[in-house]
Structure 1
């Protein structure tokens, strides 16, 4: 039986103890990060850890390029966010089910041409969480955008991975990136070229590890990847279920604005209309089930539930367990 990723909360009164390594020491050299970068939950018998890959600054227009600019500006103001650009969170997930350690997405990596120093932190933060890359038996990719695969093409990473690593990805996603179509996206200059280059390099280096699936794949007991399409043709979500509990890692099917404005088109969506349909269907399912949701670009730790709010939805973050 694998060790849990975090100790489960215990009931009853306990003496409060503050670990010295988490204490604020102004000016002290070598202090660990003040902002937490990992958060663990337990779904039945399955351990889940959300790990921050950092943040990615992008124009606010990317949140809804089909929206009226005034409406988009109003939403940003109401959320106390800057009007022109803000930091998108980047999250990945580690799952332990039975004897398998599964990584869901692999972060942005380090692309020197994009100058994104606050992103691409996943490998460092996995090490800080005592998660050895060599212990990862399976990798599930929601899709092949570079903020989900870039960590795999960082120099030295492949050598740390198991030679028998299984990478699960929808067959439609692999096929799409052989000749990707960006005609319906609305990305900042340079991003399409960077996305193409990263996907091409990833497929070249890891093709022998790929385990493509058509519509659904049970990666481990209680861990099921399901193709949704929309954001990209082979985009998938991963549901983790055990002991009557469930959590869905939605990848890029849901963005922060998608609860209030689920029909707004994100600039990275290759089929915006289908992406909106997928988003609304997924949010309805989660609102009905009450199961947990985690997504790549929701504010860390990105753990919460979905409620219906009129014709749209409401994001309900969990109360943190300490």
Structure 2
């Protein structure tokens, strides 16, 4: 059996060669991290307030390419009690320019998770790489009619008339973000369950609005039997450990986003709990250690 045969998508008896799901129990709660794939992003977007030489040095030290990076995309499935919760939905299949992303639905199926079994969706925010999977053709028809979609009320309000004046995104992106968010809010209006500050989705699963990256950006905290894990969405990027004050071009309030990031990393360093984030290398499960004015990402040892 060749590696090509093993890794060929759609082969019924074999999984993909590269792992795309990772189970991380948190006490009695089941957490499954699923890779939605990767998409290309211009390197300068990672640090819009850093000079190019400093960013180039960091990229070189991290063995990352100088111009275009592969940006990981992770989503999470949480099972607590009777509820199966999908946290974020990936990019979706609408974007042919990003053929290596938009894998969430297929990889949920490969993990044995039927879309009809999902009782709740939590959206950290409404950027296209977090809601696009729900807009893929045929997906809504496979979801439960009583599906509850939890998103901060401030986030839904923001996308009615979004302000991109403080972002530094590639030119085509703002219009696409606006269109996708508008379509999502229209298609799923009847299933939205907006919350103001925080909401307990299921026992031990709490979604909390942080703001910063977008006005309604939220994180999901999972706690059971003395163990804790935080899914940070886009509050933390790979570069944010070494340089937490660097601005990301997709942040709608970069100064507030930096404050949120630093406060969250300080908290996680103090508690020692696990961290998962959308754009950290899969499976992204790590702990945070303080390192002077910066931080270290300490990857978890995979539990085989």
Same fold by TM-score greater than 0.5: yes
CA distance in 1, matches of 2:58, 2:261: 19
Task: Say which of 105, 113, 124 aligns to 1:131.
Answer: 113
Consecutive unaligned residues of structure 2, counting only runs of 5 or more, are none
How many angstroms does 1:26 deviate by? 3.1
Task: Say which of 50, 54, 67 aligns to 1:71.
Answer: 54
How do 1:78-227 residues align onto structure 2 when only pairs under 5 Å count? 78-112=61-95, 115-227=97-209
Match of 1:301 in 2: 283
CA distance in 2, matches of 1:257, 1:130: 34
Mark the structure with the bigger radius of gyration.
Answer: 1
Match of 1:26 in 2: 3
Q: Deviation per CA, 1:97-131, whole angstroms, max 9, x where unpaired? A: 0000000001001234x611000000000000010
Check conservation: 2:3, 2:17, Cα contact below 8 A.
Answer: no
Tell me if 1:243 matches 2:225.
Answer: yes
> What SS is found at the alignment partner of 1:155?
coil
Q: Deviation per CA, 1:32-52, whole angstroms, max 9, x where unpaired? A: 311000000110100000000
How many angstroms does 1:207 deviate by? 0.6
CA distance in 2, matches of 1:61, 1:317: 25
> What SS is found at the alignment partner of 1:237?
strand
How many angstroms does 1:189 deviate by? 1.8
How many angstroms does 1:27 deviate by? 4.0
Match of 2:258 in 1: 276
CA distance in 1, matches of 2:194, 2:122: 10
Tell me if 1:57 matches 2:40.
Answer: yes
Match of 2:241 in 1: 259
> What SS is found at the alignment partner of 2:24?
strand
CA distance in 2, matches of 1:94, 1:25: 32
Moved more, 29-38 or 253-262: 29-38
CA distance in 2, matches of 1:197, 1:219: 28
CA distance in 2, matches of 1:26, 1:192: 40
Match of 2:293 in 1: 311
Q: Deviation per CA, 1:153-189, whole angstroms, max 9, x where unpaired? A: 1100000000000000000000000000001001112
CA distance in 1, matches of 2:92, 2:4: 29
- The TM-score, its normalising length taken from structure 1, stands at 0.91
CA distance in 2, matches of 1:74, 1:32: 38
- The TM-score, its normalising length taken from structure 2, stands at 0.96
Q: Please list every run of at least 4 consecutive aligned residues from structure 1 whose deviation after the TM superposition is greater than 6 angstroms.
A: none
CA distance in 2, matches of 1:226, 1:100: 18
Match of 1:18 in 2: none
Q: Deviation per CA, 1:39-66, whole angstroms, max 9, x where unpaired? A: 0011010000000000010000111011
Seen in structure 2, the aligned counterparts of structure 1 residues 313 and 207 have a Cα distance that, compared at 3 Å, is: same
CA distance in 2, matches of 1:60, 1:136: 35
Consecutive unaligned residues of structure 1, counting only runs of 5 or more, are 1-23
**Superposed CA RMSD:** 1.0
